[in-house]
Structure formats: structure tokens, C-alpha cells
Amino acid sequence: ILLMGSARDIFHTKVQTLLRTWIDEIATVLRVAGLDETLAHERGEDAAIAIQGALIVAQGLDDVAPFVRVMKQLPQQLCQDL
């Protein structure tokens, strides 16, 4: 919602910075755990996509179960191949 219509002009830079920081921090943890830089960054992006998508679906359905499920599965998905 913060990136749609006229709100995009107002919030784009802040949301972009937040997402980049979030992705970079997840990638840093995954690199320290042993993933190469490219895969760690991709998984950081995947985490942001999964979390944000789950939040949208949970809000739309008025049901937190999809979000809870994604959050339970995410650590295993991010850490596979370690």
C-alpha cells in the first residue's frame, strides 16, 4: 500500500531502504552460517517476499494462520544446504 499511487512518491525511498537493510541483514546471517554471497542474498530476498506475502494474505483473509505457517517454515527454507 505504501508503494501504490501517490504514496509511492512519499514512501518509496524509506521502504526501499528498509527492504534493502532487511534483506542484507538476513543475507549476512546466512553468509556467516556458510552460504555463498549470491545464494545468501537470494534467500534474503526470498524471506522478505515470503513474509510480506504472508502478511498480505493473512490480512486479506483476516486469519493469521498463513503468516504463522510461513514463519515456521522459513528457517528451514533459508538454511537448507547448510
pLDDT digits (tens, 9 = 90+) for 39-77: 999 999 999 999 999 999 999 999 999 999 999 999 999
Please state, in angstroms and rounded to a whole number, the distance separating the CA atoms of residues 28 and 41: 8
* Closest to 23 measured CA to CA, from 45, 42, 55, 39: 45
The torsion angle over the Cα atoms of residues 19, 21, 26 and 31, rounded to 10 degrees, is 130
Q: How many CB atoms lie within 10 A of CB 70?
A: 19
The pTM is what? Answer: 0.85
Q: What is the pLDDT of residue 8?
A: 74
The three cell numbers locating residue 69: 505457517
